Amino acid sequence: MSKLLYIKASPRGERSHSLAVAEEFVRAYASLHPAEAVETRDLFRMSLPALDGEVLRVKYNIMHGKESTAEEKARWKAVEDVIADFKSADKLVFAVPMWNFNIPYVLKHYLDVICQPSYTFAAGPEGYKGLCSARVFIVYARGGEYPATGAAQDIYDFQSTYLEFQLRFLGLTDIQSVIVQPTLRGPEARDSSKQAALKQALEIVTTF
């Protein structure tokens, strides 16, 4: 049995455009694959471990091949649990708003927790190697509108560029996405973009 993990990075509930499209995708996926597991992680409702000095000591101990104390290991376990949960998924669905041209801080926190050497990537003299494997589908929502190519993209879009760079770094190269934009420039533009994103999402789900 495969497992789909649906990761929510908008706190806006029913008003959220990224959640609205992602939820339709997940609903369609569940009805196409009734025997497969579908689990949700709402990042704004989860208590992610703080990466404070004590916890980071373990990260650096691992990088330097040093042992950690039992107490340090006990705190590190919270990081390991989030990583194990992430790696247990064969399929990942993200709902991601643009916040200040990037991803919301909770998703950055989540990525900071899961991106750990020897767990999700390996670093050696020959370079980096991602240790994760899953298919990925992402719904982005943006108040403004940023073209997919060209100079404006280079300047404004640190949302899809950062998230997809980080996922590829972890070995997740099978990434598909849709974008709802602009969500804050009137209902017409918002609704037609949302309908188009939904249509695309419901096509992608048939082979996901």
Strands 37-42 and 135-141: unpaired
- 99 makes contact with ligand FMN (CB under 6 A): yes
- 193 makes contact with ligand FMN (CB under 6 A): no
- 162 makes contact with ligand FMN (CB under 6 A): no
Interface residue with ligand FMN among 68, 82, 101, 189 (CB under 6 A) is: 101
Considering the complex, what minimum distance in angstroms separates the CB of residue 50 from ligand FMN?
A: 21
Q: Which two tokens stand for residue 167?
A: 């996922």
Q: Which stretch binds ligand FMN (CB under 6 A): 10-18, 25-33, 121-129, 161-169?
A: 10-18
Name the burial class of residue 147, with classes exposed (0-12), middle (13-18) and buried (19+) by CB atoms within 10 angstroms of its CB: exposed
Considering the complex, what minimum distance in angstroms separates the CB of residue 37 from ligand FMN?
A: 25
- 91 makes contact with ligand FMN (CB under 6 A): no
Place of tokens 């990942």: 92
Residue 33's alpha-carbon distances to 28, 38, 205, in angstroms, are 9, 9, 10
Site for ligand FMN in 19-48 (CB under 6 A): 19
Strands 127-130 and 121-124: antiparallel
- 109 makes contact with ligand FMN (CB under 6 A): no
Element (H, E) at 5: strand 3-8
Q: Is 100 helix (H, G, I), strand (E, B) or coil?
A: coil
Q: Which stretch binds ligand FMN (CB under 6 A): 73-81, 123-131, 139-147, 167-175?
A: 139-147
47 CB-side CA count, 13 A: 1
Interface residue with ligand FMN among 4, 7, 18, 198 (CB under 6 A) is: 18
In the complex, the residues that contact ligand FMN under the rule CB under 6 A are: 10, 12, 16-19, 97-101, 141-144, 183-184
